[in-house]
Amino acid sequence: MRLLPVLLAALAPGCFISRTALNDPIPEASIEGLVPGVSTAEEVVAALGAPIQVVELGERSAYHYLYRRQKRAGLTFIVLTFINEDNRPDRVWVFFDENDVLTHVASTFSADDTRYALPWQNMDAGDDE
């Protein structure tokens, strides 16, 4: 008889939410201060911190910055779990010439748009709004 309450608790439905982040957020304002043809690689690192990746392009180079936010929500019924996960990054690529002078910046910012949603909701279709 003592096993019955433990068994019922183990089979009871439940829900969960979680949030994770990878790396530090990239301040969008610090990118606005970077000027192609003027800013140097040293100034970019001072403004954005160390890149997660440095790519050598012959005598030129590119630095990659990434911040990723992930949110999950789920429901569990007996032995079946339904999960919805929204995973969105902020990315910045900065490109330098052979003298380590900034040539251009490419960026996307969508980590702040990460949302929780029920497992059957499509986040791109706007079902959760």
Quick one: pLDDT band at residue 118, thresholds 50, 70, 90?
confident
Domain containing 68 equals 14-119
Give domain status of residue 7, yes or no.
no
Within-domain flag for 2: no
- The answer to whether position 3 is within a domain reads no
| 127 within domain boundaries | no
45 falls within a domain = yes
pLDDT tens digits, one per residue of 39-83: 999 999 999 999 999 999 999 999 999 999 999 988 887 777 888
Q: Which residue has the higher pLDDT, 31 or 13?
A: 31
Domain count within the chain: 1
34 part of a folded domain = yes
Burial bucket for residue 96 (CB in 10 Å: 0-12, 13-18, 19+):
buried
pLDDT band at 128 (very low <50, low <70, confident <90, very high): very low
pTM of the model: 0.75
The CATH number that applies at residue 46 is: 3.30.1450
